Structure 1
Amino acid sequence: MQERPITERIETYRDSYSQLYEGLKWKADKHTLMMIAAMYVTNSKEFHLKKYLDIAEYIKDNVGAFSYLKSAQRFSIAATLDTTTDDGKTNFHRFIEIYEKLIKNGFSRNAYSYIAAGTLLKVEPIRIDEIVQKTGDIYKGMKGNHFFLTSSSDYPLASILALCENDAEAIVNNVEEYYQALQEKGFSSGNDLQFLSHILALDSEHIPDAKAQQCWEIKELLHKANLKTKKVYYPYVGMLSFLENKESVINDLLVINEELNRDKLFKWNKEINFMMSVLFLMSSMTVMGDAARTGLTISIEALIQAQQAAMTASITAATVAASSSNGNT
């Protein structure tokens, strides 16, 4: 699929979401369906409902009775397979092999390990053992620097960082340099700042202090435009720092965000709409150098994978709460 204007991307997103909602409204929550629709748009992949549902059903039929992939998570994994490979069913078995390699390397058997495995589908088979080892080393380094902030929800970020050219130690050190530089610029410490430092570390061409200054400037511009500046949006500030003409970009972002907020399908999901606005704006940028474009593509993937992780966590928490309120153990 060729690059298209943002208006066409939004229309495609709307159409894909409508199809997903009709087909899965009793099986997956709206936020997950929004994310899945966005995966097709940002990967410039045509959405075909029947093909997608066939992959999701194939996953369900080829996992054990107690697998996480019997749950609604299979729908996001099906989208990962469909948007990043040429044959979702065939590559599902390679996906499971990667997942098992992550488990042998110390990862827990949980939803986040599946998401991490999905990010490594693009790795050449001859390099997969090396990258899995590197993923584990990066995660251990992250844990060493921020023991209480780092958890299994960071598995996907570790796997994406492992795709960078530098060795694991250099990557972890770079992440920490960004974290400290951002703190000095007034960004609040915590999980969201750690995520932002990961996003920025994907681009090795900038100096942490200079990049932190750019992020602060963008945060201020978002605030003046009455757009989102809460801690949870820190990673999206990092995404916008890839662009040079900041004022113009914020104006474009405001237009996209308002259009989504007016849409009857999405108007009750304003926080997700802001995130989607950033993704659509950034994925439409074509006038960029190769290095920046590569970093941007990886960053978009990082945000989507992390969004999967966040939604998985919220769905799991809601399920546990419902179970407790019903008196189940």
Structure 2
Amino acid sequence: MEKANRCIEDYIQIYSQLRERYRWKVSDQSVLMMVASLYISNNRTFDIDRFTELADYIKRESGLFSPLRSESRFTFAAMLETKFENPKDQYPAFIAAYNALVSAGFSKNTFTYIAAMLMVTANPENLTSLSERARVIYKKMREEHLFLTGHSDYPLAVMLAQHDRPTDEMIFHIEDLYSKLSQNGFRKGNDLQSMSHILSLNEDSQADDMVALSAEIYDRMKKEGIKPKSMFYPQIALLTLIEKGNDNLSEIKAIWQQLNEEKLFKWRKDINFMMAVTFVISDKIDHSFLLQTSLSTTIETLIQAQQAASIAAISGAAVAASSNGGE
């Protein structure tokens, strides 16, 4: 718990600085909580002036109607700074990835920028081919779940596209997970779809094994007094990917309760739980030799994608873009 306590202290310190400077510039303070968490989960130092300079740079470089001129710029400033030593130098590559996705048929919205950031992090050899493969996967998702699949699924489509598995085989595996999870107490919907997408990224485990462990974690949450809401399904999936993920819940609960007792966060219990999971998983990745390097990288990227997607949803930046359910 010593490491976790330091994480909480650093998280509060970063959030407090962000809140002092930007409290009147964001529609929901939860956005700043998520931004602060990116620095903690990536184990990066935070400098408010350096961050502000990068956020301002992104705004200046963006078109008049770009989401990057809104509070979304804080999200992407944090993602760039926590992933790259010279974040400004990576900005053109970020925009190039975004343009490749749009050219492949993705809509112009915040989630496309999130997907573009994941592409830049992965550093693919060919942006065009990866974008086109992601678009094919996304369309297949919509064929299976027309009313569930929307813009918020763009980032996971890009992550799935980075795997070599044939598309039809990948979609079958996702649907198998979705069906079996729903038969084991998980409620059908977009959160369950996201959960099945995340679990499908672990190609070395059988669907039945991952569903069984997910159900075990779900039941343990209830025993720990943590209501396993559908919004937490992605966090359950992340825990399932971690070796002995079920053993981490006591630590997660302790951190969650500690955050709930903080004056700054006491009204944000659902977000606090997501943060607790993020902090524990990030620590496990840093210190575990049990995880394959490839899976560790996947989990790190998933955490970043989930945090960014949460920011987009919280800030309302993607509400209008998502209202038609996607294309």
TM-score, normalised to structure 1, is: 0.90
> Residues 312 and 318 of structure 2 are in contact (CA less than 8 Å); yes or no, is this contact kept in structure 1?
no
Deviates more, 1:254-263 or 1:175-184: 175-184
Alignment-derived partner of residue 106 in structure 1: 105
Amino acid at match of 1:298: T
**1:81 is the counterpart of 2:80:** yes
Alignment-derived partner of residue 144 in structure 2: 145
Pair 168,111 (structure 1): closer, same or farther in 2 beyond 3 Å: same
> Residues 199 and 302 of structure 1 are in contact (CA less than 8 Å); yes or no, is this contact kept in structure 2?
no
* C-alpha distance in structure 1 between counterparts of 2:128 and 2:245, whole Å: 40
Alignment-derived partner of residue 291 in structure 2: 289
* C-alpha distance in structure 2 between counterparts of 1:313 and 1:206, whole Å: 36
Pair 206,30 (structure 1): closer, same or farther in 2 beyond 3 Å: same
Amino acid at match of 1:146: H
Deviations 1:3-45 (A, max 9, x none): x922211111111111111111111221110100111111111
> Residues 56 and 75 of structure 1 are in contact (CA less than 8 Å); yes or no, is this contact kept in structure 2?
yes
Q: Which structure 1 segments of 5+ residues have no match?
A: 321-329
Q: CA deviation at 1:292?
A: 4.0
Q: CA deviation at 1:56?
A: 0.6
* C-alpha distance in structure 2 between counterparts of 1:54 and 1:304, whole Å: 22
Query: RMSD of the TM alignment (CA)?
Result: 2.0
Q: CA deviation at 1:302?
A: 3.2
Deviations 1:179-198 (A, max 9, x none): 11111212111101001101
* C-alpha distance in structure 2 between counterparts of 1:124 and 1:156, whole Å: 15
**What is the percent sequence identity of the aligned residues?**
36
* C-alpha distance in structure 2 between counterparts of 1:279 and 1:190, whole Å: 23
Amino acid at match of 1:13: Y
Alignment-derived partner of residue 307 in structure 2: 304
* C-alpha distance in structure 1 between counterparts of 2:246 and 2:125, whole Å: 45
Larger RCO of the pair (alpha carbons < 8 Å, separation 6+): 2
* C-alpha distance in structure 1 between counterparts of 2:309 and 2:200, whole Å: 15
* C-alpha distance in structure 2 between counterparts of 1:67 and 1:123, whole Å: 24
- The DSSP-based 3-state class of the residue aligned with 2:120 is coil
Q: Which structure 2 segments of 5+ residues have no match?
A: none
* C-alpha distance in structure 1 between counterparts of 2:131 and 2:18, whole Å: 33
Alignment of 1:1-329 (within 5 A): 5-28=3-26, 29-124=28-123, 126-245=125-244, 248-285=247-284, 286-287=287-288, 288-290=290-292, 291-313=294-316, 316=319
Pair 100,243 (structure 1): closer, same or farther in 2 beyond 3 Å: closer
Q: CA deviation at 1:316?
A: 4.3
> Residues 39 and 304 of structure 1 are in contact (CA less than 8 Å); yes or no, is this contact kept in structure 2?
yes
Amino acid at match of 1:310: A
For this pair of structures, how many residues does the alignment match? 315
Pair 173,313 (structure 1): closer, same or farther in 2 beyond 3 Å: farther
> Residues 160 and 302 of structure 1 are in contact (CA less than 8 Å); yes or no, is this contact kept in structure 2?
no
> Residues 184 and 215 of structure 2 are in contact (CA less than 8 Å); yes or no, is this contact kept in structure 1?
yes
